[in-house]
Structure 1
């Protein structure tokens, strides 16, 4: 089955270091206040500020998108605020618009980060229209290529969506044992797995047998701990791309970038406690109605779904749980006040 992996290797490797920029560059002219600086506790191992390859550091990958930049700011702030070793966190921002990290640096001038340029053109030819336009953004597929985008000296990375906030120490999540698996995420094995794929998929034995002998467990790709070495050796990007190529020839799923991950990884990942992805707080993909938390403890809240907390707050119709996101909102109001 042909793929565009070779072309992506060439186009996705451009990277620029974060630093020295302070000009706002988003089209909505949003302005954000500067966040406080957070310091390591005495027990944290010392890591030189310019060291991005230390095994002691916590590497976090996030995408930067114009429409989700406000969410990214809140996610960064919550991560640093609840970390015992915030100076040991290294952020790897993936973006097709290099100018977006200017705003990040104005609010977090001390942040230790790299910007990695994601070229969308090869991916655009692989994207099939899904049930929600936001899911069709090429940047939504950047997680497929993290082992190509990130430095080869990195062995593990934590991927986070832009619509999350953490309320516990990210080090606990990053320390998840991978048990020889390429990635770890909270699994949901009681979900109706059939809804993620079309009748054409399930009626074709050569396709539906993909899950034979595997636990058909759903997992959300907005929070993942990834073994970059095992991913590279296993050629998992190529496997994902092959399913996307098949989807262009025959419709086998509807929901954006998630189904290829399920096809490749479902039942083959290490499990993470559900507290680390209380997802679905943005409602469904159609109306974005309010939802409650899942039962049990909470360490990470995730507004996956159509409804985003910043949009609902701005509209004057926030959901009750959006009040948990608001304290991390760095947006400055037009009258000079702080949005939250």
Structure 2
């Protein structure tokens, strides 16, 4: 009976791939040299040891015909570049590598992309450079003590890690010449051309994200928050909706101008004393931005595929188009695949995995 259930899940995933196939052909794909090679030997990093070099070298992706020529030197301040930011740490490294791979594979102009990696260990720069030899990127060390004293207990320990809050500081960490950035979590894959997301019109707003106004917004804050008029009045005159912070387009110029990092930190300080929410780094973003978000199509964050924050149960896709698959929640596809307890949709993450098990 067990093998029947697993086979059924596999068939469901394959059928879904067929359904999604047209969306993967809606743009001119990059010309990719798909000559995989293996990086052999051991990698030793301070305080960590990856027993074998477990990441295959990614193919080299080239711009398709029709891409705008890079107007400058291709360095971080080149105005023709598309900027993407992710975090890198040892626990989620496999997910981050798969995310980058998926972005490059589906980009029509991958040579015009610049990646910003906020890291817990700068030695990860070597691994990234070996896995993506032609990638334009820069590594930034995020000092945990910057935010550690502001972090309060959450429903899941992973949500309490300092690097989970690095997105709050992108405007401070990235060079002033970087005026806009796409932020991605490490547990997602992109199956559409990211330039479509980059071209989002933010209007007067500082961030853009898919919003979910049907969600029960009140559940993201405690009863004590809603009963405190001083706190709850922050939403007066706004129509706040839930949005997931794992996919955001951010206007860094406006962020710096209006000092949003300090505003987020202020709410985190209040949380330490008054316990106004239970869920990690999301609620401070809701407090500052909910009701003032430029809407983005829901297809750009098919989130929740990791299940809930406790059991990590299997989830289905939301209705509608799919440009990005996001395993938010406690269940991560690489762990479930390795344990032979995968959910049907985890099969869609597998093709982007560059991890190679030791022999």
- Is TM more than 0.5 here? yes
Aligned to 1:163: 187
Aligned to 1:42: 65
The CA distance in 2 between the partners of 1:321 and 1:238, in whole Å, is 39
Aligned to 1:237: 261
* Aligned residue among 204, 218, 231 for 2:242: 218
* Aligned residue among 341, 347, 353 for 1:317: 341
Say how many residue pairs are matched.
314
> Per the alignment, in what secondary structure is the counterpart of residue 27 of structure 1?
strand
- Alpha-carbon displacement from aligned partner over 1:44-98 (angstroms, at most 9, x marks no partner): 1222564222232110000001100000110000000000000000000001210
Aligned to 2:8: none
Matches within 5 A, 1:123-162: 123-162=147-186
* Structure 1 stretches of at least 4 aligned residues deviating more than 2 Å after TM superposition: 22-30, 48-51
The CA distance in 1 between the partners of 2:49 and 2:295, in whole Å, is 40
- Cα displacement (A) at 1:284: 0.5
Task: Find out whether 1:327 has 2:347 as its counterpart.
Answer: no
> Per the alignment, in what secondary structure is the counterpart of residue 67 of structure 1?
coil
* Aligned residue among 164, 172, 177 for 2:196: 172
- Cα displacement (A) at 1:117: 1.1
The CA distance in 2 between the partners of 1:302 and 1:29, in whole Å, is 28
> Per the alignment, in what secondary structure is the counterpart of residue 49 of structure 2?
coil
The CA distance in 2 between the partners of 1:224 and 1:317, in whole Å, is 31
- Alpha-carbon displacement from aligned partner over 1:274-308 (angstroms, at most 9, x marks no partner): 00000000000010000000001100000000000
> Per the alignment, in what secondary structure is the counterpart of residue 320 of structure 2?
coil
Aligned to 1:276: 300
Aligned to 1:27: 49
> Per the alignment, in what secondary structure is the counterpart of residue 184 of structure 1?
strand
* Structure 2: gaps (5+ residues): 1-40
- Conserved 8 A contact 1:276-1:298: yes
The CA distance in 2 between the partners of 1:179 and 1:55, in whole Å, is 19
The CA distance in 1 between the partners of 2:60 and 2:220, in whole Å, is 42
The CA distance in 1 between the partners of 2:253 and 2:223, in whole Å, is 36
The CA distance in 2 between the partners of 1:184 and 1:310, in whole Å, is 29
The CA distance in 2 between the partners of 1:23 and 1:153, in whole Å, is 37
Task: Find out whether 1:256 has 2:280 as its counterpart.
Answer: yes
Task: Find out whether 1:97 has 2:97 as its counterpart.
Answer: no
- Conserved 8 A contact 2:209-2:296: yes
- Conserved 8 A contact 2:42-2:51: no
- Conserved 8 A contact 2:307-2:314: yes
The CA distance in 1 between the partners of 2:184 and 2:123, in whole Å, is 21
CA RMSD of aligned residues (A): 1.3
- Cα displacement (A) at 1:99: 1.0
- Conserved 8 A contact 1:23-1:103: no
Task: Find out whether 1:190 has 2:217 as its counterpart.
Answer: no
* Structure 1: gaps (5+ residues): 1-21, 336-340
> Per the alignment, in what secondary structure is the counterpart of residue 158 of structure 1?
strand
The CA distance in 1 between the partners of 2:125 and 2:94, in whole Å, is 12
The CA distance in 2 between the partners of 1:294 and 1:189, in whole Å, is 14
